[in-house]
Amino acid sequence: MAISGTYSFSVNFSPVFRCDVTSASGNLKRNLDLKRLAVSTEQTSTSTTTTGFAENGRTWKKSTGEEGDTTRRVGVEVSEEPERNRKSLKDYFGEVKDLIRSDGGPPRWFSPLESRSHTPDSPLLLFLPGIDGVGLGLIMQHQRLGQIFDIWSLHIPVEDRTSFTDLVKLVERTVMSENHRLPNRPIYLVGESLGACIALAVAAHIPDMDLVLILANPATSFSKSQMQPLIPILKLLPDQGPLSVPFILKLIEGNPLRMAVDNLVKGLPLGPTFGELSQNLLTMSSYLSVRLLNGDELYSDALNLYASLQFMVVADILPKQTLLWKLEMLRLASAYANSRLHAVKAQTLILSRSLYFGMVYSVSVVYLNPLLEKHLLEDGVDLVTVLKGAGFYRRGKYIDYVSDFMPPTPTEFKKLHESSSYEVYDTKEKSPMEQVNMLTIALSRGLRWIYLATGPVLLSTLDGGKIVRGLSGIPSEGPVLFVGYHMLLGLELFPLVSQFMIERNIVLRGIAHPLLFTRLKDGSLPELSTYDSFRMMGAVPVSATNFYKLLSSKSHVLLYPGGMREALHRKDEEYKLHWPEQSEFVRMAARFGAKIVPFGVVGEDDIGQVVFDYDDLMKIPYFRAGIDELTNEVVKLRIDASGEVANQDIHLPGILPKVPGRFYYYFGKPIETEGRKQELRDRKKCHELYLEVKSEVEKSIAYLKEKRENDPYRNLLPRLMYQTTHGFTSEVPTFDL
């Protein structure tokens, strides 16, 4: 890709700027040739392409001319194209080779060309590198991040000796300058290792600034690492030689090639691993102008080979004296950041299996992702997907779960749909509350098995009233409001949402309990990362505002009036609706002319039976205290309601599992509200429609309970036998319609 200019960096720590080819400086050869990078934050085109979330739950694109566009954008979408064009280690080494050349310049910002595709209201993302200082740690993420962020990366030349505190001041000045220029957009600080310490220090210095911290393997625990006592030994080592330096360097957090050693240690299959090693060896040998440590001798052991390659790369980027300088800076940075943690108030996402801090972390929002302990240059790490799942992408001061939502790409949906839980949860010597948490996590991660074990049958109703298998009777254009019965533990959700995506490419936006999004305090509930898949698929916290926004954006909305009381029902309450006495959704649906689709679902009684319910638990003081503890961790709903529906206590009933049966869904004929806005302002008319919807849901459940008795494949074994002979991707028949 040709570009119309090259790079010129500021000599006074100022933000990035463009230096045209026609510049009179006469110094173009002196500047770094950063091929695929650009340093301008200006809009060089008079026409931009914006992407959004379609009215029917699918993706769309539109062009905006010079005069702009007054249409309110209700969402963004990250396309599949960048996933296919994702850069690799080959690109990393090619661009590192240019960047490590010493030019005598100070630390400065550069912006990858990929970030020029972002929309005008995209947040600013400042990447702060680890001890290598190159600034290419996000190179595999540039394509996707560039669609939704304005990316600036900090480059610290190899021979630069800027102190940690001066680096903090540089970043702090940039943050304040950009905030002054565009005060309504948040600024993301993505820091890895040393860069994470810089991000924490900046956030502590300007706690009132709207910052979002993304910390990948932060080096705040450097004082406890194995590297600390080895620094004096490193000083005694010769500049070159095959001593223990590879082992020492392997301990450094944020080393770009550490993932290769990690993969070997984890015991990956020998065949694929060796193939990957061979390919990566060819890639790296093409871009490194150094020789193997032992002359032409190749290590027969793959681990030693990669340790050698580690040394070559890091030694090329960080010569011994530079490495010592960086390690001393790392020590000071760790101590500096730890001493100021109490002042950090920024929203923070920690990409690590566990906290790296030896003290209580005092930020306003800490989201810990226990599944991601990888480096940003490692295959399989997609920062955009992580941000979407964590609910950490926003373009304003607060996240808007409707307009900031990005529908899952085909690749993301495939990973969610095919995810399985293979973890074994040992419940021995665990408290009841810990066992509840383990089961919740297992259910949320073991999504695919629910779909396979229940063989879902989905029926819908055409305009003429004919019932058909599949979702062809579902309206394509929104707004559409699906109102139905919430089965035990909400087990119907995954097959339901998945099939809407598979068959109709419709994102079903569920109105969900706030516990999926926030906590009032720390406690025994599972980590928020447990619910990443729900947020990825478009769930929003229950509120009148979010309901309004979803309908106004013509979305397909999923609503369960029975809420948690219905999903955590008592013994012998299968298929019993627990709806509020007064209507909650009719007037809002009528305001936007939404089609109301009542639906029923059955099958929970073929999965398990409640044998120890809420009433039983509340009779035992120990369990009663545990229920109170869990309930007090989250926002309470329906505090003004009366009756059973007002009971929103969080608990897990005792369930006796059964050999899985089958799930059945029936979507009734859509009820039109278009043109009835004035009519439904009447309280009596509104309540009549509410009761009509409830009655249709009950009729749908009764219909399914009757018809499933004639399904020869209701039980698991007949379905498995059918799929054995017809293929496991074939559709298993059901009862006659």
Looking at residue 76, what is its pLDDT? Answer: 53
Looking at residue 664, what is its pLDDT? Answer: 98
Burial class (CB in 10 A: 0-12, 13-18, 19+), 438: middle
Do 123 and 188 touch, CB atoms closer than 8 A? Answer: yes
Report CA dihedral (165, 170, 171, 177) to the nearest 10 degrees: 140
pLDDT digits (tens, 9 = 90+) for 648-693: 899 989 999 998 899 999 999 999 999 998 888 899 999 999 999 9
CA–CA gap between residue 241 and residue 692 (Å, rounded):
82
Looking at residue 7, what is its pLDDT? Answer: 30
Looking at residue 237, what is its pLDDT? Answer: 62
Do 363 and 522 touch, CB atoms closer than 8 A? Answer: no
- Residue 304 backbone zone (phi > 0: left; psi -120 to 50: alpha; other: beta): alpha
Where do we find the tokens 């749908």?
A: 700
Domains and CATH numbers, the chain: 5-224+328-387 (3.40.50), 240-318 (no CATH), 408-726 (no CATH)
Looking at residue 80, what is its pLDDT? Answer: 60
Task: Provide the token pair at 382.
Answer: 């997609």
Task: Provide the token pair at 729.
Answer: 């991707």
- pTM summary value: 0.78
CA distances from 673 to 55, 543, 597, 694 (A): 18, 21, 11, 16
Looking at residue 86, what is its pLDDT? Answer: 76
Which of 303, 320, 166 is CA-nearest to residue 233?
A: 320
Show the low-confidence residues of the chain (pLDDT under 70).
Answer: 1-84, 102-103, 225-231, 233-319, 352-375, 378-379, 419-448
Give the largest Cα separation in the chain, rounded. Answer: 89
Which of 561, 557, 421, 588 is CA-nearest to residue 486?
A: 561
Long-range contacts of 516-519, Cβ-Cβ distance < 8 Å, separation of 24 or more: 516/541, 517/391, 517/401, 517/541, 518/634, 518/635, 519/633, 519/634
Indicate the DSSP class of residue 581: S
CA–CA gap between residue 56 and residue 41 (Å, rounded):
34
Indicate the DSSP class of residue 605: G
Where do we find the tokens 């939404």?
A: 594
CA distances from 11 to 104, 525, 530 (A): 10, 50, 46
Helical (H) or strand (E) element with 386: helix 383-390
Looking at residue 265, what is its pLDDT? Answer: 39
CA–CA gap between residue 645 and residue 561 (Å, rounded):
9
CA distances from 136 to 133, 423, 629 (A): 8, 34, 45
CA–CA gap between residue 648 and residue 638 (Å, rounded):
8
